[in-house]
Amino acid sequence: MASNALNTVLNIKLRRELWQMRGQVLAIALVIAGGVAVCVMSLVNYSSLVATRAQYYEQNQFAEVFAALKRAPRHILEDVAELPGVARYEGRVEGGAKLEIPGFTDPVSARLVSLPPDGQPDINRLFIREGRLPAPGRNQEVAVIGSFAEAHDLSLGDRFQGIINGRRQTLILTGIVESPEFIYVIPPGAMLPDYQRYGVLWMSREGLEAAMDMKGAFNSLVVTLRPGYSVDAVADALDRLLARYGATGAYGREDQFSHRFLSDELNQLKTMATVFPLIFMGVAMFLLNVVVSRLISTQRDIIAVLKAFGYGNRQIAWHYSKLVIVIAVTGLLLGLALGLWLGRALGELYMDFYRFPGLLFRINPLWLVLLAALTVSVAWLGARRSISQAAALPPAEAMRPEGPARYRVTGLEKLFSAIRFSQPSRMIVRQLARRPARTLLSMSGVAMATAIVMVGNFQFDSVSLMVHTQFARVQQQDLAVSFIDPVNRSALYALQRQPGIRYVEGRRTVPARLTFGHREWRSAVTGIPRNARLQFVIDSNLAQVHLPAEGLLLTDYLARELGVKAGDSVQLELLEGDRRKVPVPVAGITSEYVGVGAYMSLDALNRALGDGPLVNQAMINLDSAMATEVYDRLRETPGVLGLSIRQAMLDSFYDTLARTFLTFTFFNSLMGGIIAFGVVYNTIRISLAEKGRELASLRVLGYTHNEVAHILLGEVALLLLLGVPLGWLVGQGLALLIVTAMQTELYRVPLTITSQTLGVSALVVVVSAIASGVIAWMRLRALDLVAVLKTRE
């Protein structure tokens, strides 16, 4: 009974203190909520996308092996069926088309995929959003990918013109579909989607065979595997079987672009679910340590009285532990609610450009349990030392006030002795100088707040640098033209003579497999003229790298993956023509933020292929006033596969990749602002609680309210002045940690921090300080001098 009574008294004390500290409790809870929310948001999207992808792949029989070739007779499919490990297979016809969409003047290209006579394929089955699949024998009917239909507001029954294999025909839209093969839809040679200018169309096999002159043949093969068979073994067998038919090398899902991009996105979500919450939780631990330690220091006499009345060390420790747990659980619940809401909102954003039939909203309950346990544990560990000290404090010592500070002139005071400070200003300097540990902790709090806001904002700078580098330094053409087959370089002169075209240069891109030791990488080798003016290769300092006469230039990411450095020799297997293998020296390392690749001089690449002066792409500078006429002319030109406009790619970048980055960055910036307010508000409130008696004494001695406020808020201003620059350094370190963890094959976020980001981070902290200062100023105004000066016993 006595024990229950004692606990009841402590619970009443706890509730009273929580109410009295409600501002501080809420501020710390918001910091914890920020970390939990970012973690839950990332985990929700990660688990939802993983579950959605797995279900979509299974239900729609996504292929496990892919092979592209020039042309093979359909009877070869019987040999494919006999290969060990092949469960299902489908030979398709694929091709390219140039489209004319009513009301849209820019060039539009499309990938064409054939459908079997039954309509629905056995592999890569289509999800029908609207309408139906093209019927056999109706060669004009097409089904289109949903993203393309939405971009052009197409409806069932709409008609548009298509140029397929140099022949114009009218196409009729019968269905709007999605495919597991095209969850992420991008034009050939690009790294980002452009839904208005590129789409995927499905036609009946009969219709596409006729359009592509592929009667009784196929040029694309997709395969699913029997359990227990490896992708590599089946791919090797397919390569041997299809080599004579111009195969460019079979590959598995891991090298299929749509799957690879989505996998990279999932890996980044895992990184964000780990790195950001760790940063937030670290700040929360720091805050709890400061708040609880200072709270206990102001309650020494109360602890002594409690012990005198019979409370044991464990009861005292449990009492303060409950304070920490209540704060942690409050932050946890707020963070869970906010994280689930943000996760659903961000999931809808992902659905804008990941073409799933729908999003399965999933979260693993075990993760939430582990997150809750981690949150409470981290919070308690942050305050453990202070709680242990409170429990071990002897009653007799606790009854006495803390020993007075040693009053002597400090080094900081000597440093500023030549400056004639006012009396309140001297008090501020002395207060900071004579308690260096406390000053350092407060500075660290401000620094962490500044760093968190920087981490939330620096990606704006990074995305801007990515855009500038890719679309101003590397690519300087207005228009890129892709040819169906390589053409002689003399074709470029014919292009240059056309009205509206100012300058043309060619390049050649060839699929390749690079091998170094036991490591290999499937990529593309791009041949560029050594005197190129419209396309450049750059290093990590954004300086132009001149192409060597012989040898490869590898992007830094690819070089790391292969484990090579300049001077090493790699085996280059060119997956075109006779697929020859040649040893090539690595002449240097380049840097790119988008994609990976290898570069050679155009002449060296053609020699390696055993060809003459061929190109399969033309880079063009246009007279902007005649751009539309040039587009129309090239669209009608036989042999042209597609057109890519640089400005359109830039717009696409902002609409997709940048939008994802900036949305996530906005959420992190919002959380950073919450943390900044929590840190600064707690610093001011704790300082006010500690100095309540001193400030009240000064008021009694004749100091005005403004002078007393100057002492309190001036100290905070100095802490800001010292803490913000320190936060900039800490923020740069955290940003480096994040960009290192977020590197993927498709893009690498550069570390760049501009003065604007530094200014924004400082501004957020200063505004938080001003808001907190206003609250403190009002509390000072309402200070009851008599009550504060009394000693509670």
Confidence tier at 793 by pLDDT (50, 70, 90): very low
Residue 544: strand, helix, or coil: strand
Mean pLDDT within 140-166: 93
Average pLDDT score over residue span 465-487? 85
What integer is the mean pLDDT of 651-679? Answer: 69
When comparing pLDDT for 601 and 297, which is higher?
601
β-pairing, 581-590 vs 598-601, is: unpaired
Q: Where residue 791 falls among pLDDT bands split at 50, 70, 90?
A: low
Instruction: Please choose, from the candidates 183, 182, 184, 180, the residue with its C-alpha nearest in 3D space to the C-alpha of residue 192.
Output: 184
Identity of the highest mean pLDDT range in 78-82, 325-329, 419-423, 589-593: 78-82
pLDDT tens for residues 221-232? 999 999 999 999
**Across 304-313, 314-323, 654-663, 665-674, least confident range:** 654-663
> Model confidence at 81, in pLDDT bands (50, 70, 90)?
very high
Considering only CA atoms, which of 346, 274, 376, 363 is closest in space to residue 659?
A: 346
pLDDT of residue 594: 78
Lowest mean pLDDT of 125-129, 312-316, 414-418, 642-646, name the range: 414-418
Distance CA 492, CA 533 (A): 15
**Residue 399 confidence (pLDDT) above 70:** no
Q: How confident is the model at residue 649 (pLDDT cuts 50, 70, 90)?
A: confident
Model confidence at 354, pLDDT cuts 50, 70, 90, reads: confident
Q: What is the model's pLDDT at position 225? A: 95
| Stretch 356-364: mean pLDDT | 85
- pTM attached to this predicted model: 0.79
Residue 493 has pLDDT above 70, yes or no: yes
Q: Is a pLDDT exceeding 70 seen at residue 656?
A: no
**pLDDT-derived band of residue 657, with 50, 70 and 90 as boundaries?**
low
* Dist CA 293 CA 704 (whole Å): 31
What was the pLDDT predicted at 121? 94
- Average of pLDDT values for 443-463? 81
660: confidence class by pLDDT, cuts 50, 70, 90: low
- Give the span between the Cα atoms of 257 and 745, in whole angstroms: 11
Q: For residue 597, give Cα distances in angstroms to 527, 561, 591, 747.
A: 11, 12, 10, 12
pLDDT reported for residue 322: 87
DSSP assigned state of 352: T
H-helix or E-strand spanning residue 566: none
Mean pLDDT of the region 564-573: 92
**Tell me, what's the pLDDT at 790?**
60
How far is 168 from 222, CA to CA, in rounded Å? Answer: 29
- Residue 2's pLDDT is 46
In percent, the amount of the chain with pLDDT more than 70 equals 89
- Whether the pLDDT of residue 155 is over 60: the answer is yes
**Range 529-543 average pLDDT:** 87
Choose from 111-125, 257-271, 341-355 the range with maximum mean pLDDT.
111-125
pLDDT computed for residue 586 by the predictor: 94
Whether 116 shows a pLDDT value over 80: the answer reads: yes
Q: What are the structure tokens assigned to 464, written together?
A: 């801007």
Write down the pLDDT at residue 302: 77
Comparing 371 with 220, which gets the higher pLDDT? Answer: 220
For residue 371, report the phi and psi dihedrals to the nearest 5 degrees.
-65, -40
Residue 469 gets which letter from DSSP? I
Higher pLDDT, 706 or 569: 569
Give tens-digit pLDDT for 13-64.
Answer: 888 888 877 877 887 788 788 778 878 888 888 888 889 999 999 999 999 9
Residues 6+ apart with CB under 8 A from 535: 474, 475, 476, 477, 505, 507, 528, 619
Picking from 643, 490, 486, 474, the residue whose alpha carbon sits closest to that of residue 574 is 486
* Local confidence band at 160 (pLDDT 50, 70, 90 cut-offs): very high
**Among 72-81, 114-123, 341-350, which stretch is predicted with the lowest mean pLDDT?**
341-350
Which residues does 490 contact at the CB level (< 8 Å), separation at least 6? 613
Taking residues 628-632, what's their average pLDDT?
89
Which of 510, 476, 498 lies closest to 616, judged by CA? 510
Residue 597 φ/ψ, nearest 5 degrees? 180, 180
| Beta carbons within 10 angstroms of residue 126's beta carbon | 22
Query: What percentage of the chain reaches a pLDDT higher than 90?
Result: 32
pLDDT for 10 beyond 90: no
Mean pLDDT of the chain: 84
How confident is the model at residue 589, as a pLDDT? 92
Most confident of the ranges 305-314, 325-334, 573-582: 325-334
Residue 492 has pLDDT above 70, yes or no: yes
User: Is 535:590 a contact under the CB 8 Å cutoff?
Assistant: no
Write down the domain spans for the chain. Answer: 1-64+257-403, 65-256, 435-474+647-793, 501-622
Region 746-766: mean pLDDT is 85
The pLDDT of residue 408: 58
Distance (Å, whole) CA 101 – CA 705: 73
Q: Which of 351-365, 599-613, 662-676 has the lowest mean pLDDT?
A: 662-676
Tokens matching residue 567:
């001077």
Helix (H) or strand (E) holding 529: none
Cα dihedral angle (449, 455, 456, 462), rounded to 10 degrees?
150
